[in-house]
Amino acid sequence: MSDESREFHKPVRRPAELFDRLFAAEDPAEVSRVAHTTAQALLSRVREDPTADVVERLVSFTDEHGIDDLAELWSRSPAKTLPGALWRLYLLQLMIHDDPLTAALLYERGRVELASADPVIAGAPVPAGPDELVALVDAILRGLFQGDFAVALERAAAFCRVQASGATHLADDYEATEPDRASILTTRALRLTDYAGDLAACAALWRRDALT
């Protein structure tokens, strides 16, 4: 699994080494081919027939299977690709599900501090508690399969920017008294900012029919 995903990673149910057994590390072309093929096939199949039970199974995938099942396929993909976008969205969902209290704290702080339309674009209620944040991230993921894919990516990017703002401001609050906690929050803010940029770029590529 890539370094950028470790912060959002929870204990897995399958050994990470399975990926290397299935797709040899010395053959990155094969890894890339499988990642892109599976992501495109999944999205095409569901969007052609977006029945509620299938969509709900995909939304709850990480709850049932952990994240390694996806890591085996998508975690090595470049950020601005279809599998890279799906990987980041599932990691974002996993982060919120694993610690909705912290997510709500960061989101509310970011919403107050951020002078932009991002909270409106993300679409969370005001104020947004833990349950509302879980529902929001699931709704964003559901939108990938049922709605406008680019809009879902843009909502996810806005969500990341709000969270990053909250993490940055909380890091400043803790800098003098709890520097270790401040450092963790700063790292999260930087990662979320990167994710926001990646997802926004993927949305633009999708609108040009260039996200592969």
Average pLDDT of the chain is: 84
- DSSP string computed for 2-28: -GGGGGG----SS-THHHHHHS-TT-H
The tens digit of pLDDT for each residue in 150-194 reads 999 999 999 999 999 999 999 999 999 999 999 999 999 999 999
Return the higher-pLDDT residue of 152 and 53: 152
Q: For the ranges 17-21, 92-96, 133-137, 195-199, which has the lowest average pLDDT?
A: 17-21
pTM for this model (two decimals): 0.81
Q: Mean per-residue pLDDT for 40-46?
A: 80
Residue closest to 86 by CA, chosen among 132, 22, 40: 40
Report whether 133 contacts 96 (CB < 8 A). yes
Which is more confidently placed, 62 or 109?
Answer: 109
pLDDT at 18: 37
3 has a pLDDT exceeding 60 = no
Handedness of CA 53, 55, 56, 62 (dihedral sign): positive
User: Per the structure block, which two tokens stand in for 181?
Assistant: 């906690």
Which conformational region is residue 9 in: left (phi greater than 0), alpha (psi within -120 to 50 degrees), or beta?
beta
For residue 14, the model assigns a pLDDT of: 40
* 62 touches 97 (CB < 8 A): yes
